[in-house]
Amino acid sequence: MKNSKETFGRNSTTITRLILLGFSDIPSLQHLYFSVFLVTYIVTLPGNFLIIVLTLADPALHTPMYFFLRNLSFLGMCYTSVNVPKMLWNLFSGDKTISFIGCAVQTYFTFFLGGSECFLLASMAYDRYAAICKPLHYPMVMNRKVSTGLAAGSWLSSFLVSFGLTSMVFTLPFCRSHKINHFFCDIPPLLKLACGDTSHNQMAVFMAALLFVTFPFVLTLMSYVSIISTILRMPSGAGRRKSFSTCSSHLMVVTLFFGSACIMYLKPNSSYSPDTDKFLSLSYTVITPLLNPIIYSLRNKVVKGAFCRMVGRRRFC
């Protein structure tokens, strides 16, 4: 990566810091935003940590499904920690600056973790497909080696691509402004600050989104088409309800995460709207990590049973 100091405008002014405008368009609501996001962050971290502890401690949860859920919870803790603490500090202190290097690091991990979550959700969909559509072959299809390989592939899939995209963006000359109309450093709003022709950069982002958003989403969609088709052919109503309950939680998370990510990164550049992008970004960087443990625990009797066994209060659960 080139030197982080860029020339701004025609003057020889050197930029070493950027400004995250965040939600400063409504100053009177800054304290409300801070309170809401603080509570969200405080709930997200222990909620996901509890899922990790439960899936490690209880033998009943030592299955591929909960192995993937453990990975998803850890990823959610990392994802929300990349952006929310800085956003909280900006809201609390009023200091909205971020160093050029800090912005680059934030951009890298946002894309890296987001891409990893896309493939992890697709892996979880494949696990549900194997369990429901191929139940007799499930232990062989989703053995430890396969599930570990899918999880590792999810984490490693976007490692190098994220570095390349981040380097590509932060070696551009930023000559329009040093104010980012967003609450964290993301590639689309950063490209708006670059001078010169950024069409190649925008195409690279679009192609990366096709690989890390559209491709896993299509795989997930194909898995659920087969899953729903198999469930509808089951003769027993109780069997249909039980089968659907095992994947309904994952389907809710997939819809929220992929829906917002597809709109965010695959929409035409001409339809760029800072306010819309902020809302969409909140859904997959803040809301999804918050909802993961809630959805998977409230709608999952096995997880609730593991929690009851851990706290030793089975009769109250």
For 59-94, the pLDDT digits (tens) are: 888 899 899 999 999 999 999 999 999 999 988 888
CA angle, residues 43, 216, 259, in degrees to nearest 5 = 55
pLDDT of residue 269: 65
Angle at 283 (CA atoms; ends 278, 287), nearest 5 degrees: 125
The pLDDT score that the predictor gives to residue 8 is: 37
Mean pLDDT check: name the lowest of 54-58, 207-211, 260-264, 272-276. Answer: 272-276
User: Is residue 93 one of the residues assigned to a domain?
Assistant: yes
* Structure token digits, residue 101: 């290097």
pLDDT of residue 6: 40
- Does residue 9 belong to any structural domain of this protein? no
235-260 mean pLDDT: 77
Distance CA 221, CA 229 (A): 12
Q: What percent of the chain has pLDDT over 70?
A: 89
- 270 has a pLDDT exceeding 70: no
Strands (E), 13-170: 13-15, 17-20, 97-99
The yes-or-no verdict on residue 1 having pLDDT over 50 is no
Q: Please, are residues 41 and 85 in contact by the beta-carbon 8 Å criterion?
A: yes
- The answer to whether 123 and 68 have CB atoms below 8 angstroms apart is yes
Q: Is residue 2 part of a domain?
A: no
Q: What is the mean pLDDT of residues 106-135?
A: 92
pLDDT confidence bin for 271, thresholds 50/70/90? low
Query: How many C-alpha atoms does 277 have within 13 Å on its Cβ side?
Result: 23
Confidence of residue 53 (pLDDT cuts 50, 70, 90): very high
Q: Cα separation of 35 and 157, whole Å?
A: 35
Query: Which helix (DSSP H) or strand (DSSP E) does residue 6 occupy?
Result: strand 6-8
DSSP 134: S
Is pLDDT at 107 greater than 80 in this prediction?
yes
Higher-scoring residue by pLDDT: 171, 108: 108
**The total number of structural domains that make up the chain:** 1
pLDDT in tens, 179-211: 888 889 988 888 888 887 788 888 888 888 888
In a domain, 87, yes or no: yes
Residue bearing the bigger pLDDT, 25 or 13: 25
Whether residue 98 is contained in a domain is answered as yes
**Has residue 10 got a pLDDT over 90?**
no
Q: Give dist(CA 170, CA 203) in Å, integer.
A: 16
In this prediction, residues 8-27 reach a mean pLDDT of 65
Residue 6 included in any domain: no
In a domain, 4, yes or no: no
The Cα 276–Cα 85 span in angstroms is: 22
Residue 109 sits at the vertex; the CA angle it makes with 108 and 113, to the nearest 5 degrees, is 125
Sheet with 97-99: list strands edge to edge: 97-99, 17-20, 179-180
Q: What is the DSSP string of 147-165?
A: HHHHHHHHHHTTHHHHHHH
The residues with which 174 forms a beta bridge, in sequence order, are 194
Round to whole Å and give the CA distance between 58 and 303.
Answer: 9
pLDDT confidence tier of residue 12, bands split at 50, 70 and 90 = very low
Judge whether residue 13 has pLDDT over 80: no
Question: Taking all residues of the chain, what is their mean pLDDT, rounded to a whole number?
Answer: 83
- Is the pLDDT confidence value at 99 over 50? yes
Query: Is residue 1 situated within a structural domain?
Result: no
The yes-or-no verdict on residue 32 having pLDDT over 80 is yes
Q: What is the pLDDT of residue 4?
A: 41
CATH number at residue 91: 1.20.1070.10
Tell me the per-residue pLDDT of 209-239, one tens digit each, with 9 for 90 and over. Answer: 888 888 999 999 999 899 888 888 887 777 6
Mean pLDDT, residues 274-293: 84
Q: What is the DSSP letter of 185?
A: -
- Looking at residue 103, its pLDDT comes to 93
Q: How far apart are CA 317 and CA 308, in angstroms?
A: 6
Give the separation between CA 104 and CA 89, rounded to whole angstroms. 18
* Structural domain harbouring 219: 17-316
